[in-house]
Amino acid sequence: MTLATQVDRIIDARGMPCPGPLMALIGAIREGEVGDAITVLSTDQGSKTDIPAWVRKAGHELVEVAPEDGYARFVVKKAR
């Protein structure tokens, strides 16, 4: 696995049902600094739509969405 961005925090939300992974991301964005890159690992199918939709609405940057073996990896940069 190669990362395009240096990651400041990894949230392993695999096994967490919806909306757990999104809520964990929101919590990390609240706590983080502008410019931080946060990685979320999620097995929840809902995350594929929920996380990009929230990131767009909240004005952050979705740096990467990558399918992995049995889960998806999202990298989000706190933009404001």
Partner 1 sequence: MPARVAVLGGGVGGTLAANLLAKGLGRDVKVTVVDPTGMHVYQPGFLYVALGQANGRWLARDERTLLRKDVDLAVERAIRIHPDAGTVQLERGGSLEWDYLVIATGARLVYDTVPGLAQGAYEFYSLEGAQRLREALRTFRGGRIRVGIAGIPYKCPPAPVEFVLMLDGYLRKRGARKRSEITLLSPLNRAFTIESASKLVQPIMERRGIGLETFFNVESVDPSAGVVESLEGEKAEYDLLVLVPPHRGQRVVDQSSLGDPGGWLPTDKRTLQLEGHERIFAMGDATNLPISKSGSTAHFEAPVVASRIASLVHGTAPKTNYGGRVMCFLETGDGRATALRFDYEHPPIPPRPSRAWHAAKWVFNRLYWETVPQGRIPERASKGRGEA
Contact code string over 7-46 relative to partner 1, x by CB under 8 A: ---------xxxxx-xx--x--xx---------------x
Q: For residues 2 and 57, what is the distance between their CA atoms, to the nearest angstrom? A: 28
Q: For residues 15 and 27, what is the distance between their CA atoms, to the nearest angstrom? A: 18
Q: For residues 78 and 13, what is the distance between their CA atoms, to the nearest angstrom? A: 19
Does the annotation mark 42 as catalytic? no
* Residue among 3, 4, 5, 53 that touches partner 1 (CB under 8 A): 53
Strand-pairing partners, residue 9, are 38
Q: Would you say 57 or 70 has its CB closer to partner 1?
A: 57
Q: Supply 18's token pair.
A: 């919806």
Residues that bind partner 1 (CB under 8 A): 16-20, 22-23, 26, 29-30, 46, 50, 53-54, 57-59, 80
Active-site amino acid positions: 18
